[in-house]
Amino acid sequence: MTGVEGATGCETAGCVTAGVGGGPGSLAAADWAAREALSRGTVLRLVHAWDQPSAVLADAVAGVVPPPDRDRSAALLAAARDTLARRYPGLTVTTESRCGPLAAALTGAGADGGLLVLGSRGSGRATGLLLGSLARAAVARSGRPVVLVRPGDDEDRTGQGDVVVGVGPAGPDDTVLGFAFDAASRRTAPLRVVHGDDPAGRTRQRLTEALRAWQDKYPDVRVARQPVVGTAAAHLVDAARDACLLVVGRTGRRPALATHIGPVTDAVLQHATAPVAVVPHG
């Protein structure tokens, strides 16, 4: 069972949760999450998860006697909180330290929030995401949207580039489209819809109707459609090359130990050079 140390919880419904690990990917993710929380007018919750047995074993092998893991966790969170508080004075930041299996701890922490933000192991915007096992498991299991951010994506790109959303041959999903429209509206960015079709053209008609409804709700968002033929992932990666955010869907509920995220989502996460939001639906 996952333990919680010093938890404050989400003080505002729909808060943004960021996983903090100390590496450049997690620092970029925390900064991205801070700007996202400000744009949503909500709380940023920083979470550090540590798996005590593996940490103790690693220290024993290295011949090191460290301070208790909870102390290291608290220090890491305090440093991240102080940095973001200085950088974003109007932001409310809370911290939470969890002991237990890492993927389960982070997924659980994001369950009562609106968004979970994690860092990748990538080396910059010139390359795709290097998706570690922790991030992959969180994407596969989370019931909330998960955003993956690489090192180098901690700059404010508001107003720079499109928000890109992918719609597969199965047709549009309102959960995914709603997330994409909201993201584009808050960033004052155009929304580019990359979509395939079925032989009878039904997907295209359904998409037209769905977009009309969302444009009525977000009249400030300019929408461009990009029909494609062929491998969906390759088109999405190419379309999002200069995007500020790429949004893809993930269908179905996943069991607690699932790691499968689907071939299109997997390829996008491996090769996209923009932050990627994976939105569960269905």
Mean pLDDT for 242-260 is 76
Residue 140 belongs to a domain with what CATH number? 3.40.50.620
Say yes or no: 193 and 87 in one domain.
no
DSSP letter assigned to residue 45? E
* Stated pTM of the model: 0.85
Residue 226: strand pairing partners:
194
Say yes or no: 132 and 168 in one domain.
no
pLDDT band with cut points at 50, 70 and 90 for residue 159: low
DSSP letter assigned to residue 151? T
Handedness of CA 209, 210, 216, 218 (dihedral sign): negative
- Which of 114, 149, 184 terminates a domain? The answer is 149
Mean pLDDT for 61-74 is 64
Please state, in angstroms and rounded to a whole number, the distance separating the CA atoms of residues 46 and 76.
10
Mean pLDDT for 55-80 is 67
Q: Quote the number of domains for the chain.
A: 2
Tens digits of residue pLDDT in 15-48:
899 988 877 778 889 999 999 999 999 999 999 8
Q: Is residue 227 part of a domain?
A: yes
Report, in angstroms and rounded to the nearest whole number, the Rg of the chain calculated over CA atoms.
Answer: 19
Residue 5 predicted with pLDDT over 70: no
Say yes or no: 95 and 122 in one domain.
yes
Query: Is 14 within 8 Å of 65 (Cβ atoms)?
Result: no
Q: Is residue 92 part of a domain?
A: yes
- Dig out the tokens for 239 from the structure: 């379309």
Q: Is residue 271 part of a domain?
A: yes
Which parts of the chain are beta strand (E)?
3-5, 16-19, 44-50, 93-99, 115-119, 146-149, 163-167, 191-195, 223-227, 245-251, 276-281
Query: Is 20 within 8 Å of 30 (Cβ atoms)?
Result: yes
What is the residue range of 86's domain?
Answer: 3-149
Mean pLDDT for 212-240 is 92
